[in-house]
Structure 1
Amino acid sequence: MILLTRKAEFSAAHFYWNDALSQQENERIFGKCANRNGHGHNYTLEVTVAGEVDPITGFVVDLKKLKDILEQEVVGVYDHRHLNLEIPDFATVIPTTENIAIAIWRRLAGKIPNATLHRVRVYEMPDLFADFYGDFGPEAEAGAGN
């Protein structure tokens, strides 16, 4: 087995806010990120897949197909969007770096032919990223592998 990672980039806005908390609590916990107008980031996404090298092509996956899947499932959906206001993935979840990584995993699980999704890494900034290696439960097992 070998791991292969592909990068993609998207720009999006978000804010941190929990409706169960008061305005004061939100501002204390989330600081200036609680500004309901939002702020933006240029995100870098790394998607790592695991699989066997095809003896004919030398690839784990069709690289163009992987790029197309990332475009269709993530970049085309998240790029130049306000995550809180426009993306159903975050209707009830705060779009933190951690939750964005989880949402992307769920968007990609089971959609990459001939490989298993191994890791989703989302960089919010060059010095801040979150890694997600999948859910751990029956729901994940049904959709995590190929």
Structure 2
Amino acid sequence: MAPVSYITRAQSFSAAHRLHSPHLTDEANLALYGKCNHPNYHGHNYKVEITLKGEINPSNGMVMNLVDLKECIKHAVLDPLDHKNLDLDVDFFRKNPSTTENLAVYIWRNFQYHFARHSAWRTSSASLYRVRIQETDLNSVEYFGEGEENNQESLPDVEFDNRRHA
């Protein structure tokens, strides 16, 4: 067995959202989310880190080529999310509050979707290990995919979303 390593790529994107749950009344949403429930939205400059885990390939010395990782992040994160209104432009958030926790789940699923279709997946032992999102200087969320194996929801069809919102 080859040595195992973790590689991380960080990327930034900007997006607007409104913390509002379709499962709660307007009054309950305002009480729960406060100023972040403002009906005209607010925005963040998010920083996302994608970490992959895998064996170091003895031939090339890499877990995965970082150029390929950058391309997967472009398709899975930047294309559907950068300079978007999460609640209006991303179907996932029509049913789920656009919290940073749910954003991490969305990015996890979308990255898995694109990574499975990228040629690097077939030539690497790498697998998604962690999604970390820094929402503000003081707030961040990490997601390790726990609960995904029991999730029956299909992966987002981002290619369709990109055509519609291009």
TM-score scaled by length of structure 1: 0.90
Q: Secondary structure at the match of 1:48?
A: strand
1:138 positional shift: 4.1
| Distance in 2 (alpha carbons) for counterparts of 1:21 and 1:4 | 40
Answer 1 or 2: which has greater helix percent.
2
Which residue in 2 is equivalent to 1:63? 66
The offset of 1:94, in angstroms, is 0.5
Please identify, of 110-119 and 28-37, the stretch whose mean Cα deviation from structure 2 is larger: 110-119
**Aligned mates of 1:83, 1:48 — CA distance in 2:** 23
Q: Are 1:120 and 2:95 matched, yes or no?
A: no
* 1:48 equivalent in structure 2: 51
What is the aligned-residue identity percentage? 35
Q: Deviations over 1:113-132 (max 9, x none)?
A: 12110000011112111111
RMSD: 1.7
TM-score, normalised to structure 2, is: 0.80
Match 1:29 to one of 25, 29, 32: 32
User: CA shift at 1:109, angstroms?
Assistant: 1.6
Unaligned runs of 5+ in 2: 156-166
Query: Offset at 1:23?
Result: 2.0
- Residue number among 4, 7, 11 corresponding to 1:4 in the alignment: 7
- Which structure 1 residue ranges, 5 or more long, are not aligned? none
Query: C-alpha displacement at 1:88, in angstroms?
Result: 1.1
Residues in 1 aligned to 2:32 and 2:56: alpha-carbon distance in whole angstroms: 47
Q: Distance in 2 between matches of 1:102 and 1:21?
A: 21
